[in-house]
Amino acid sequence: MLVVAALFALTVLARAPASWLAGALPASVACQSPSGSAWRGQCAQLLYPGGSLEGVSWALHPWPLLLGRVDLDLRSADARAPGTTRLSLGIGGRLALQELRAELPLDAGLLPYFPAGWTGQAQFALDSVEISGGRLLAIQGTVTARTLAQRNPPMPFGSFELRFAPAASASDTPITGVLSDLGGPLSVSGTLTIRNGNEYELAGLAQARTEASTELAKAVEFLGPSDEQGRRPFSLGGSF
């Protein structure tokens, strides 16, 4: 009887309109003009705090529902920010993203926490991300910022990579990412440490290369005294 009831529920879900699933979104997220079904549907526009995406579609995996988990394959057809991922939402609100692949311009207002006044291209190649209660629990993969530059005054910085390796699963273990440059006017090496799921500290060494602009070279000098190799330490922290 349990199997029959489960199959009946899945059949009902397959025929349900997309608005059913769209209505289950958090209050801060809105699906505009949903179409299709709860099983396979699309939002003409997905609104979220600080930005929006066009043409977001999903495909629901039925069998995880029997385990109390919602699994969706998500795709963004937005020309500004194409991307794909698999999203899993478990009991208690634990959120997991698998195989997140996306690209987006930094000056399009699509990243809510990124400061204004910068240009460049962000690329996400994250194998896994886990979030619970608004706190980051784990992350693995690479985030790349290409041709990063400040608008005013104009100041090119170069390209950079932040790589998160697999870490211990203990909830009190800090998350660590290694920062390095991929060439350009600014040489950088450092470490990003995330504690308690939302407290970060970025520390490392920076050095202006010979092709750096005068403005960038002066900005680096403000970091403080250099070591024997001409590198200057930097550190910043906060919460998100």
Is 91 found in the same domain as 50? no
What count of Cα atoms within 13 Å lies in the side-chain half-sphere of residue 132? 9
Is 118 found in the same domain as 9? no
- Burial class of residue 227 in the structure, from the number of CB atoms within 10 Å of its CB (0-12 exposed, 13-18 middle, 19+ buried): exposed
- High-pLDDT (> 70) share of the chain, %: 87
What is the predicted pLDDT for the residue at 169? 53
Domain-embedded: residue 165: yes
Q: Is 3 a residue whose pLDDT tops 50?
A: no
| Spatial CA neighbour of 71 closest among 84, 94, 87 | 87
More confident residue, 45 or 94: 45
Name the residue range of residue 16's domain.
1-59
Q: Is 10 a residue whose pLDDT tops 50?
A: no
Neighbouring-strand partners of residue 101: 84, 125
Residue 15 binned pLDDT confidence (cut-offs 50, 70, 90):
low
Is 180 found in the same domain as 114? yes
Which H/E stretch holds residue 18?
helix 18-22
| Spatial CA neighbour of 61 closest among 76, 51, 73, 50 | 73
pTM of the predicted structure, to 2 decimals? 0.86
What is the predicted pLDDT for the residue at 76? 96
Residue 52 binned pLDDT confidence (cut-offs 50, 70, 90):
confident
Q: Is 144 a residue whose pLDDT tops 80?
A: yes
Domain-embedded: residue 102: yes
User: DSSP assignment, residue 207?
Assistant: E
| Cα 41 to Cα 222: distance, rounded to the nearest angstrom | 52
Token pair belonging to 173: 């273990």
Is 39 found in the same domain as 98? no
Is 210 found in the same domain as 173? yes
Is 90 found in the same domain as 209? yes
| Cα 181 to Cα 186: distance, rounded to the nearest angstrom | 7
User: DSSP assignment, residue 212?
Assistant: S
Domain-embedded: residue 159: yes
- Burial class of residue 26 in the structure, from the number of CB atoms within 10 Å of its CB (0-12 exposed, 13-18 middle, 19+ buried): exposed
| Spatial CA neighbour of 234 closest among 12, 8, 176, 219 | 219
- Number of domain units in the chain: 2
3-state secondary structure of 76: strand
Residue 14 binned pLDDT confidence (cut-offs 50, 70, 90):
low
Write out the E strands in 29-174. 30-36, 40-48, 51-61, 70-76, 83-89, 95-105, 118-132, 135-150, 155-164
Domain-embedded: residue 13: yes
Domain-embedded: residue 66: no
Domain-embedded: residue 74: no
Is 214 found in the same domain as 108? yes
What is the predicted pLDDT for the residue at 48? 84
Is 146 found in the same domain as 33? no
Mean pLDDT for 118-139 is 94
Is 92 found in the same domain as 26? no
| Cα 29 to Cα 50: distance, rounded to the nearest angstrom | 10
Is 54 found in the same domain as 93? no
Domain-embedded: residue 51: yes
- High-pLDDT (> 90) share of the chain, %: 63
Is 147 found in the same domain as 199? yes
What is the predicted pLDDT for the residue at 7? 40
Is 20 found in the same domain as 119? no
Q: Is 121 a residue whose pLDDT tops 50?
A: yes
What is the predicted pLDDT for the residue at 21? 67
Domain-embedded: residue 69: no
pLDDT in tens, 156-191: 999 999 999 886 555 678 999 999 999 999 999 999
What is the predicted pLDDT for the residue at 188? 98
| Cα 99 to Cα 210: distance, rounded to the nearest angstrom | 38
Residue 8 binned pLDDT confidence (cut-offs 50, 70, 90):
very low
User: DSSP assignment, residue 37?
Assistant: B
What is the predicted pLDDT for the residue at 16? 65
pLDDT in tens, 62-111: 888 777 788 999 999 999 999 999 999 887 778 999 999 999 998 877 77
